[in-house]
Amino acid sequence: MARDPKPTSSARVYSSRDIGSTLLILLCAVIGVGGLIALLKLRLPWDPTLASEIADRQLLGKPPTVQQYIDLSMWWAALFACLTGFALLAASRLWTTRSLPLTALNLPEQKPAYSRALVWCLLAAITIGSGFIRSQRLDHSFWNDEETTIQDYAWGEYVRPDLNSPVEPLKFKPVKWSDTLFYNRGGSNHILNSAVTKITLDTWNGVTGHDTPYFSETVARIIPFLASLATILLLGWAAWRAHSPITGIVAAATLGLNPWHLRYSTEIRGYSLMLLLIVLSVVFLYLALNTGKRRYWLGFALAEAGFMLAFLASVYVAVTINLAALAAIMIWSTSGKARLHGLARIAAFNLLAAVVFVMLVAPSIPQFSDYLKNPLFEGFAPNWFGDFYHHLTLGIPPWSVSPESNLGLTAPQLFSESPWIRPLVFWIIPIALFVGGVAFLRRPRAAFLFVTALAAAPVLSYVHNRISDSPALPWYVLYSVLPFALLCGAMCTSPNWLPGLLPRKRQALSITLAIVWLGVYGLATQQSRVRLCEVPRQPLRGVAEAMRGNSPTYANPVITDEITGSIGFSIKRLRSYDPHVFPLKNAAQLRKLVQAADHQNRPCVIAACGGELLHEDKADAACLAFLKDPKNGFSPTERILGFEEQFSYQLYRRPASGLPKEREN
């Protein structure tokens, strides 16, 4: 982070205009005028014709179209942009002018015993090693949530063939940009990630010249993968500059070893980008407060809007970051003018961030409201804290499952094989986190701001969702891995508190403690990392290969061999790997599929996803009973297991009936 700036003449403080001020004023004018033009051109949300169109779709049991959701919300977003742009324009003298540092958040002195080159080499080595571990997951099959991104928001899908027309060629339906940015079924669109994934796949296909729509798991995951490595490096650098070299090195290594971060580092969802942008926003915020430079304020605004667009549930981080900044401005401002100027700037740049965020997320609001009327699950998740803490520390769930039902790993299995890990998780790590918190509070103000803003966010999220009984899941606070790594890093500096020791001895003890911590934590989480790297969460590609002998099958527009179907969890998600598959919601649809197979004299293969969990749903249980009934001719064959039972498969095969084939049209 930047050093304290040199003193500037008071005549230029808080009042001078320059090119930076002019550009910010022009930006506000563009926002205001652009919002006004949009207000005049956009469809009014209370238009009676729009209400009638939506009512007609609801009578048919259909939700509004994406365009109708845009019409319902974008006018209000334009109004917000218009009012914000002109308000910021009117108050431009309060926040656009050049200024001195707003607060005295000085950095700790860098001790000469530490070589900057050595610290950089260690951080680079940690990042490279973390990249090697994460690269082993790049070619895993997509799983359910990633398939949602691929099919609905970033790539597209092949239109399902007609059951009664076995030779109908597949037709690809690409995702339009309006769907990428504004379609948000059930809040499942991580908008920034969807846009990045679409650009990545479109660019790759353009460069490689594929004749047909094509996707590669490795290519699609390259941006989240790189973002995860940038997060490790940036977190280490920031902790080094805000606290100490030991803190930065250990924080980076802890994050690199953390299995929860590993799991989401190569997933084409918004989590990896969110973590990078959160760290970047805190760094920019510190630089903005400590230097007063407007480019850092603008960087903060863009990073803040970015991490909320990457994952909407990270809004709690935005709240705590800004509360920490307000506290810094109110307590540590260098003067009364600096305090007023700081308050004006944080308000102005938050409004700029809000304009970016609101314009892109506005159509998602009515979609999410409709989803909450009939959500997939209701109420705060049971055993939330136990689930969260086990994933935070070990990256695995706390419940017991049969090892025959999946290839994953759970905490009871790990504790049974390595009993020493239990006291580490429930005694040593909590003490280490407490000591790390004390270490940060003993350091300069920059460290206090940095760790408080990040550590308070998951607490705020938990309290709010617990009180409101909202359907929040533990990975909604995945950003907890950032303060976890930071506190573990700061814990290793605790020998500096020991009285009566020479600085070199304290330094040696800190290095020893860091080596012990990383060795113990790395060993405790080794099995989790190995299993996460070896086992795909949901083996969709493997299932498609077992059903047809090859995958993906979209390269074959006409399939005349097996008729395939899927029951249970995630029934639609096989269609990226086998677009010819028929998702089956009940036993009646399954019988119809079997009748078609008999009529066309084709074998039938059904993939049942969910194992014993299928018995918990009446429709799935009925399908399973049909498949197991010997009279229906199905035999269980391959079992293809994923990391969890919910995403593991059992295949059922039925030979051709021997009836004459239907003549091709």
The average confidence (pLDDT) of the chain is 88
Burial of 622 (0-12, 13-18, 19+ CB in 10 A): middle
The pLDDT tens digits of the residues spanning 226-245 come to 999 999 999 999 999 888 89
Averaged pLDDT for residues 633-656: 93
Beta-strand relationship, 604-609 and 649-654: antiparallel
The pLDDT tens digits of the residues spanning 418-428 come to 999 999 999 99
Averaged pLDDT for residues 274-286: 95
CA-wise closest residue to 647 among 550, 556, 536 = 536
Averaged pLDDT for residues 606-627: 92
Contacts of 590 (CB under 8 A, 6+ apart): 565, 567, 584, 606, 623, 626, 627
Averaged pLDDT for residues 656-663: 52
Q: Which pLDDT does position 172 carry in this prediction?
A: 84
Q: How confident is the model at residue 445 (pLDDT cuts 50, 70, 90)?
A: low
What is the spatial distance between Cα 196 and Cα 175, in angstroms, rounded to a whole number? 13
Averaged pLDDT for residues 303-312: 96
Q: Which pLDDT does position 540 carry in this prediction?
A: 93
Please say whether the beta carbons of 317 and 304 come within 8 A: no
Q: Which pLDDT does position 189 carry in this prediction?
A: 93
Q: How far is CA 172 from CA 164, 169, 207, 319, 582, in A?
A: 19, 10, 20, 42, 16
Q: Which pLDDT does position 4 carry in this prediction?
A: 45
Q: Which residues pair with 651 in a beta bridge?
A: 607
Supply 438's token pair: 């004390």
The pLDDT tens digits of the residues spanning 96-125 come to 887 767 666 666 555 554 578 899 999 999
The pLDDT tens digits of the residues spanning 372-383 come to 776 666 677 778
The pLDDT tens digits of the residues spanning 241-264 come to 888 899 999 999 999 999 999 999
Q: Where are the beta strands (DSSP E) in 129-198?
A: 156-158, 172-174
Averaged pLDDT for residues 299-304: 96
Averaged pLDDT for residues 78-100: 90
The pLDDT tens digits of the residues spanning 357-373 come to 999 999 998 888 877 77
Q: Which pLDDT does position 106 carry in this prediction?
A: 61
Q: Which pLDDT does position 2 carry in this prediction?
A: 46
Whether pLDDT at 130 is above 90: yes
Starting at the edge strand found earlier in the chain, the sheet holding 649-654 runs 582-583, 563-568, 604-609, 649-654, 635-640
The pLDDT tens digits of the residues spanning 338-360 come to 888 889 999 999 999 999 999 99
CA-wise closest residue to 34 among 70, 71, 84, 73 = 84
Q: Which pLDDT does position 279 carry in this prediction?
A: 96
Among 14-28, 545-559, 651-665, the minimum mean pLDDT is found in: 651-665
Cis peptide before 64 (omega within 30 of 0): no
The pLDDT tens digits of the residues spanning 56-70 come to 888 888 889 999 999
Whether pLDDT at 395 is above 90: yes
Q: What's the length of the chain?
A: 665
Q: Which pLDDT does position 107 carry in this prediction?
A: 61
Averaged pLDDT for residues 276-302: 92
Q: How confident is the model at residue 660 (pLDDT cuts 50, 70, 90)?
A: very low
Averaged pLDDT for residues 483-512: 88
Global pTM value = 0.92
CA-wise closest residue to 247 among 411, 468, 493, 6 = 493
